[in-house]
Amino acid sequence: MSDTRTRILDASSELFRRNGYPGTGLKQIAAAAEAPFGSIYHFFPGGKQNLGEEVVRVTGPAYGDLVYSFLDNDIPLPQAVTTMFAAAATLLEATDYADACPIATIALEVASTNETLRTATADVFTGWIDKGTDLMVSRGLEPDDAREWTIGMICALEGAFVLARAMRTTEPLVVAGAVCASRLPGQ
């Protein structure tokens, strides 16, 4: 991937996460990426929608990998879950409540109005569910319990991000982490 293309993707990801998809313009992206405006159309001939879809499909799995890295270790699962939510809270607070989940931000804004981006975000969420289910099975949960817990954890994390950003407190993330840890089968 070219350096300019990478800068455009990185700038778009950050701006979409912070300002939303509709609230981010292509000129803003070009400026943040320190790239000529025309380079956006060179790399993303479909314009903003093409760029948005690529951002979702590239950053979504990477964000999921980051979240699951907390659970893919030898730390007792309840402790790993609370640590994961605490790390999310720390990052959110350190960025003045600006850096939450990049996929949820876009999904909330366009799920009813843009089928291309709705499909991309749905594919990412499905990938997270599948990966989380496999990870939790490897940690000893039964497949049905692993899938149910993973869906609940994703819902709790995404909902906690929304509440934390609106309320300007990390309390929702701390509470959601504790609830998810306590809801692990066998706990």
Query: 171-182 and 77-94 are packed helices; what angle lies between their axes, rounded to 10 degrees?
Result: 170
Per residue in 19-36, pLDDT tens?
889 999 999 999 999 999
Pairwise CA distance, residues 18 & 12, whole Å: 10
- Note the pLDDT tens digit of each residue in 28-67: 999 999 999 999 999 999 999 999 999 999 999 999 999 9
Q: What is the pLDDT of residue 159?
A: 95
Within 10 angstroms of residue 40's Cβ, the number of other Cβ atoms is 23
12 neighbors 106 (Cβ within 8 angstroms): no
Question: Half-sphere exposure of 63 toward its Cβ, with a 13 Å CA cutoff?
Answer: 27
Question: How large is the average pLDDT for residues 81-99?
Answer: 94
Distances (CA, A) of 40 to 3, 29, 51, 112: 13, 9, 8, 26
Confidence at 1, pLDDT banded by 50, 70, 90: low
Q: Give the Cα separation of 120 and 46 in Å (integer).
A: 15
C-alpha–C-alpha distance, residues 118 and 107, integer Å: 6
Q: What are the sequence ranges of the domains in the chain?
A: 55-182
Amino acid letter, residue 13 = S
Where does residue 97 fall: left (phi above 0), alpha (psi -120 to 50 degrees), or beta otherwise?
left
What CATH topology corresponds to 55-182?
Tetracycline Repressor; domain 2 (1.10.357)
CA distance 66 to 84: 9
